[in-house]
Amino acid sequence: MRVDTKAYGPLEVDARQRIKFPQGLYGFEELSDYVLLDARQKPFYWLQSLTAKETAFVLIDPLIVRSDYKVDVDSRDYETLKLTGPEDKRFLQFVIVTIPTDGRAMTANLQGPLIVNKEIREGLQCISRCNEWHVQHDIVEEMQSNENRAC
Protein backbone atom coordinates (compact mmCIF):
# COMPACT_ATOMS: atom_id res chain seq x y z
CA MET A 1 0.00 0.00 0.00
CA ARG A 2 1.12 3.56 -0.66
CA VAL A 3 1.47 5.89 2.35
CA ASP A 4 2.29 9.60 2.37
CA THR A 5 4.56 10.11 5.39
CA LYS A 6 5.56 13.25 7.23
CA ALA A 7 9.25 12.35 7.42
CA TYR A 8 9.92 10.35 4.26
CA GLY A 9 7.32 11.47 1.74
CA PRO A 10 5.40 8.83 -0.24
CA LEU A 11 6.41 5.24 0.53
CA GLU A 12 5.31 1.79 -0.50
CA VAL A 13 4.48 -0.05 2.74
CA ASP A 14 3.54 -3.66 3.43
CA ALA A 15 -0.08 -3.82 4.65
CA ARG A 16 1.13 -5.93 7.60
CA GLN A 17 2.73 -2.76 9.02
CA ARG A 18 -0.70 -1.28 9.59
CA ILE A 19 -1.77 -1.00 13.23
CA LYS A 20 -5.16 0.10 14.45
CA PHE A 21 -5.45 1.98 17.74
CA PRO A 22 -9.27 1.85 18.13
CA GLN A 23 -9.19 4.38 21.00
CA GLY A 24 -6.53 6.53 19.33
CA LEU A 25 -3.60 7.93 21.30
CA TYR A 26 -3.92 10.46 24.12
CA GLY A 27 -4.58 13.83 22.53
CA PHE A 28 -5.21 12.17 19.15
CA GLU A 29 -8.27 10.09 19.96
CA GLU A 30 -9.85 10.77 16.56
CA LEU A 31 -6.94 9.10 14.70
CA SER A 32 -6.93 5.31 14.85
CA ASP A 33 -5.18 4.04 11.72
CA TYR A 34 -1.38 4.03 11.59
CA VAL A 35 1.57 2.28 10.00
CA LEU A 36 4.66 1.29 11.98
CA LEU A 37 7.90 1.93 10.11
CA ASP A 38 11.54 1.47 10.94
CA ALA A 39 12.98 4.95 11.24
CA ARG A 40 16.15 5.67 9.30
CA GLN A 41 17.88 6.34 12.62
CA LYS A 42 18.11 3.17 14.71
CA PRO A 43 16.84 2.24 17.33
CA PHE A 44 13.78 4.40 16.58
CA TYR A 45 10.49 3.63 14.86
CA TRP A 46 8.04 5.90 13.09
CA LEU A 47 4.30 5.63 13.78
CA GLN A 48 2.59 7.42 10.91
CA SER A 49 -1.10 8.29 10.88
CA LEU A 50 -2.89 7.11 7.75
CA THR A 51 -5.57 9.76 8.20
CA ALA A 52 -3.45 12.86 8.88
CA LYS A 53 -0.07 12.99 7.12
CA GLU A 54 1.16 15.69 9.53
CA THR A 55 0.60 13.40 12.54
CA ALA A 56 3.40 10.97 13.28
CA PHE A 57 5.28 9.83 16.36
CA VAL A 58 8.83 8.71 17.00
CA LEU A 59 8.83 5.51 19.06
CA ILE A 60 11.44 3.42 20.84
CA ASP A 61 11.40 0.12 22.71
CA PRO A 62 11.41 1.19 26.38
CA LEU A 63 13.92 -1.55 27.24
CA ILE A 64 16.50 0.39 25.24
CA VAL A 65 15.89 3.44 27.41
CA ARG A 66 15.66 1.53 30.70
CA SER A 67 16.77 -2.10 30.77
CA ASP A 68 14.75 -2.57 33.97
CA TYR A 69 11.51 -1.24 32.45
CA LYS A 70 8.49 -3.39 33.16
CA VAL A 71 5.17 -2.41 31.73
CA ASP A 72 2.66 -2.35 34.59
CA VAL A 73 -0.79 -1.67 33.19
CA ASP A 74 -4.30 -2.76 34.08
CA SER A 75 -5.06 -6.37 33.10
CA ARG A 76 -8.09 -5.09 31.13
CA ASP A 77 -5.64 -3.40 28.73
CA TYR A 78 -4.20 -6.82 27.87
CA GLU A 79 -7.67 -8.33 27.61
CA THR A 80 -8.72 -5.56 25.20
CA LEU A 81 -5.91 -6.68 22.88
CA LYS A 82 -6.49 -10.40 23.50
CA LEU A 83 -3.09 -10.70 25.18
CA THR A 84 -2.28 -12.70 28.31
CA GLY A 85 0.34 -10.16 29.46
CA PRO A 86 3.81 -8.89 28.59
CA GLU A 87 5.14 -12.45 28.31
CA ASP A 88 2.68 -13.21 25.46
CA LYS A 89 4.62 -13.93 22.25
CA ARG A 90 2.32 -11.57 20.34
CA PHE A 91 3.12 -8.63 22.68
CA LEU A 92 5.09 -5.59 21.50
CA GLN A 93 5.73 -2.42 23.49
CA PHE A 94 6.86 1.06 22.55
CA VAL A 95 7.04 4.49 24.12
CA ILE A 96 6.70 7.87 22.45
CA VAL A 97 9.83 9.97 22.08
CA THR A 98 9.82 13.77 22.18
CA ILE A 99 12.58 15.52 20.27
CA PRO A 100 12.56 19.22 21.18
CA THR A 101 13.68 21.70 18.53
CA ASP A 102 15.21 24.06 21.12
CA GLY A 103 18.18 21.87 22.05
CA ARG A 104 16.67 20.40 25.21
CA ALA A 105 17.09 16.69 25.92
CA MET A 106 15.25 14.06 23.92
CA THR A 107 12.77 12.32 26.25
CA ALA A 108 10.70 9.15 26.36
CA ASN A 109 7.24 8.82 27.87
CA LEU A 110 7.61 5.71 30.03
CA GLN A 111 4.32 6.46 31.82
CA GLY A 112 2.18 6.08 28.69
CA PRO A 113 3.43 2.97 26.87
CA LEU A 114 1.90 1.70 23.65
CA ILE A 115 1.19 -2.00 23.73
CA VAL A 116 0.44 -3.92 20.54
CA ASN A 117 -0.84 -7.37 19.65
CA LYS A 118 1.28 -7.99 16.56
CA GLU A 119 -0.92 -10.88 15.43
CA ILE A 120 -4.15 -8.89 15.16
CA ARG A 121 -2.26 -5.62 14.56
CA GLU A 122 -4.12 -3.64 17.19
CA GLY A 123 -2.67 -1.38 19.85
CA LEU A 124 -3.55 0.66 22.88
CA GLN A 125 -1.86 3.50 24.72
CA CYS A 126 -1.95 2.67 28.42
CA ILE A 127 -1.07 4.37 31.68
CA SER A 128 1.60 2.67 33.77
CA ARG A 129 0.62 2.06 37.39
CA CYS A 130 4.30 2.21 38.44
CA ASN A 131 5.19 5.50 40.13
CA GLU A 132 8.78 5.22 38.88
CA TRP A 133 7.80 5.98 35.27
CA HIS A 134 7.08 9.54 34.14
CA VAL A 135 6.20 11.28 30.89
CA GLN A 136 9.70 12.72 30.41
CA HIS A 137 12.74 10.51 30.88
CA ASP A 138 15.94 11.91 29.39
CA ILE A 139 16.91 9.15 26.95
CA VAL A 140 20.67 9.74 26.96
CA GLU A 141 20.79 10.05 30.74
CA GLU A 142 18.72 6.89 31.22
CA MET A 143 20.83 4.90 28.76
CA GLN A 144 23.99 5.96 30.59
CA SER A 145 22.38 4.85 33.85
CA ASN A 146 21.66 1.48 32.20
CA GLU A 147 25.38 0.98 31.80
CA ASN A 148 25.83 1.61 35.53
CA ARG A 149 23.09 -0.92 36.36
CA ALA A 150 24.72 -3.71 34.36
CA CYS A 151 26.34 -6.59 36.24
- Other C-beta atoms lying within 10 Å of the C-beta of residue 26: 13
Residue 117's domain comprises: 2-149
Amino acid at 11: L
Q: 120 and 82 in contact (C-beta within 8 Å)?
A: yes
Q: How far apart are CA 61 and CA 86, in angstroms?
A: 13
CATH number (domain holding residue 8): 2.30.290.10
Name the phi and psi angles at 145, rounded to 5.
-65, -35
Number of domains the chain is built from: 1
Cis peptide before 43 (omega within 30 of 0): yes
Entry pTM:
0.91
pLDDT at 147: 63
Q: Quick: pLDDT tens for 66-85.
A: 999 999 999 999 999 999 99
